[in-house]
Amino acid sequence: MIPIKLSALGIYVPTKVMTNHDIAKIVDTSDEWIRTRTGIIERRIAAPEENTSTLATAAARQVLNKHGIDPLAIEMILVATMMPDTPFPSVACKVQNSIGATNAFAFDISAACSGFVYGLEIAAQFIKTGAVRNALVIGAEVLSRCIDWQDRSTCVLFGDGAGAVLLESGQENCFLSSVLRADGSGQDLLFMPAGGTTLPASIQTVENRQHFLKMKGKELFQAVVPIVCDAIIDTCEQAKISIEDVQLIVPHQANFHIIEEVAVFLGIPFERFMCNLHKYGNTSAASIPLALFDAVQEGKIVPDDYVMMLGFGAGLTCAASLIRW
């Protein structure tokens, strides 16, 4: 088995900031409600000329430029997203073209908020077997375009952004253990009704607001907490380490209270969970690399730390990956 390391990290967020106060001018809500129910204070909103592939490309460029990597050396590009520019071709192919990574093959992953961790593990399998020497894994979303700005129960939650990492074959293996899970019986807790083969776009689907994200927030909350706890426990068991040994858990940034409940259930101090949703909201597949980036910037991760990335979301899907930093 070929050892794998996570060798570079980059992000991009749109410049436009939308605060809770800004949203309170659009729908019947308040900064106080949003803060206390979710922990979110503001989020970023893509400019009209931006889309998922431009955000993903900007994050990928940061990885390449900051770390002096030749795009021609990239062998694989994966983009995790639930809001591609168009149903096809993939966002990954657009990124490949924009950055000039002409030697890379490229495809998208649809696993909602678990997509980034699914992507890491898929890339890791390719590197482990020697099929490729490196892979660019990107999580990118422009959720502001699939949010119903008349629905206060969802429009307050989401934001736009992108994060990218480079995985490479290395001397020592940093990818210690992982779980990838799915439970399709929870598919109606978070979904978009129209725009696919079930309900192709029509005047009715537009009039019925069926091209917007629909979510049963309370049920989703209750469903994800036990799934997430199991994933953390099983990932640690697989690596034969105790949860206490994990210096930082970087969870999907959906809701402050989900993280709080998981921390209480597992008896882990809340401080060992990275939390930056106050500034970006829920950015689905982008939220883990955005949080990982901030954790590094803030000195919350140092070499040799055990770090667990933890995704959960629509599907339902859940994924955890334990790495040695």
**How many residues bind ligand ACO, per CB under 6 A?**
22
Among 20, 52, 284, 321, binds ligand ACO (CB under 6 A): 284
Smallest distance, ligand ACO to C-beta of residue 215, A: 6
From CA 83, how far away is CA 67, in angstroms rounded?
28
Per DSSP, the three-state class of 169 is strand
Q: What are the catalytic residues?
A: 113, 252, 282
- Backbone torsion region of residue 195, taken as left when φ is above 0, otherwise alpha when ψ lies between -120 and 50, otherwise beta: left
From CA 86, how far away is CA 141, in angstroms rounded?
12
Task: Tell whether residue 142 is a contact of ligand ACO (CB under 6 A).
Answer: no
Q: What amino acid occupies position 17?
A: V
From CA 144, how far away is CA 157, in angstroms rounded?
10
Task: Tell whether residue 57 is a contact of ligand ACO (CB under 6 A).
Answer: no
Q: Is the dihedral of CA 147, 45, 272, 321 positive or negative?
A: positive
Q: State the greatest distance between any 2 C-alpha atoms of the chain, in Å, as a whole number.
A: 57
**104 versus 314: smaller Cβ distance to ligand ACO:** 314
**152 versus 279: smaller Cβ distance to ligand ACO:** 152
From CA 97, how far away is CA 106, in angstroms rounded?
10
**141 versus 294: smaller Cβ distance to ligand ACO:** 141
Task: Tell whether residue 16 is a contact of ligand ACO (CB under 6 A).
Answer: no
Smallest distance, ligand ACO to C-beta of residue 305, A: 26
**126 versus 158: smaller Cβ distance to ligand ACO:** 158
Q: What amino acid occupies position 204?
A: Q
Q: What amino acid occupies position 172?
A: E
Task: Tell whether residue 254 is a contact of ligand ACO (CB under 6 A).
Answer: yes
Task: Judge residue 260's burial from the number of C-beta atoms within 10 Å of its C-beta, 0-12 exposed, 13-18 middle, 19 or more buried.
Answer: middle
Task: Tell whether residue 314 is a contact of ligand ACO (CB under 6 A).
Answer: yes
From CA 153, how far away is CA 34, in angstroms rounded?
10
Smallest distance, ligand ACO to C-beta of residue 232, A: 16
Place of tokens 């990218």: 164
Q: Is the Cβ–Cβ distance between 31 and 21 less than 8 Å?
A: yes
Among 110, 153, 169, 247, binds ligand ACO (CB under 6 A): 153
Place of tokens 């490229």: 106
Smallest distance, ligand ACO to C-beta of residue 98, A: 26
SS3 content of the chain, % helix, strand, coil (to 5): 40, 25, 35
| Contact region with ligand ACO (CB under 6 A), list: 60-68, 177-185, 218-226, 297-305 | 218-226
By CB under 6 A, the residues from 154 to 193 that bind ligand ACO are: 156, 190
Smallest distance, ligand ACO to C-beta of residue 201, A: 22
> Phi then psi for 271, rounded to 5 degrees?
-60, -20
Smallest distance, ligand ACO to C-beta of residue 314, A: 5
Site string for ligand ACO, 100-139 (x = CB under 6 A): ------------xx--------------------------
Task: Tell whether residue 282 is a contact of ligand ACO (CB under 6 A).
Answer: yes
**64 versus 318: smaller Cβ distance to ligand ACO:** 318
Residues that bind ligand ACO (CB under 6 A): 29, 33, 37-38, 112-113, 152-153, 156, 190, 217-218, 220-221, 224, 254-255, 258, 282, 284, 313-314
